[in-house]
């Protein structure tokens, strides 16, 4: 239930400054946890990374900022999925590898 999710997030944010700070800076990321699956959102992030990399009328600094934001969201989701037991180690590693490939 709702209490279980709150307790889980409270524990995660107590133990992980990165995840806590990411959630504080971008609270809407928490909404994405309930809007669909992690896999679907990571797929959307991968598509957004690809689209951003192919955009022609964008400055390098704007591109880098967008990529940083997309990567931070992906890292946030991948970490929470791993900690929640939604993903086994092999899936977590594949997700991180796919993200790295998309960003190169």
Is 101's pLDDT higher than 70? yes
Task: With 0.75 as the threshold, say if the pTM is over it.
Answer: yes
* CB proximity list for 92: less than 8 A, separation 6 or greater: 78, 81, 82
State the total domains in the chain: 1
pLDDT of 75? 96
**DSSP secondary structure string for all residues of 22-46:** HHHH-THHHHHHHHS-HHHHHHHHH
* CB proximity list for 2: less than 8 A, separation 6 or greater: none
Is 2's pLDDT higher than 80? no
Rounded CA gap, 93 and 88, in Å?
9
pLDDT class of 27 with cuts at 50, 70, 90: very high
Is 1's pLDDT higher than 80? no
Q: What is the pLDDT of residues 42-88, one digit of tens each?
A: 999 999 999 988 888 889 899 999 999 999 999 999 999 999 999 99
Domain containing residue 66: 2-102
How many other C-beta atoms are found inside a 10 Å radius of the C-beta of residue 66? Answer: 17
- The average pLDDT across 16-29 equals 94
């Amino acid at each position: 239930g709702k209490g279980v999710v709150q307790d889980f997030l409270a524990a995660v944010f107590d133990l992980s400054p990165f995840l806590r700070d990411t959630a504080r800076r971008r609270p809407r990321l928490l909404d994405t946890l309930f809007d669909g699956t992690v896999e679907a959102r990571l797929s959307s992030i991968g598509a957004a990374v690809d689209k951003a990399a192919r955009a022609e009328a964008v400055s390098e600094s704007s591109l880098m900022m967008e990529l940083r934001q997309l990567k931070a969201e992906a890292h946030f989701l991948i970490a929470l999925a791993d900690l929640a037991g939604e993903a086994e180690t092999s899936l977590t590693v594949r997700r991180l590898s796919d993200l790295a490939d998309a960003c190169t």
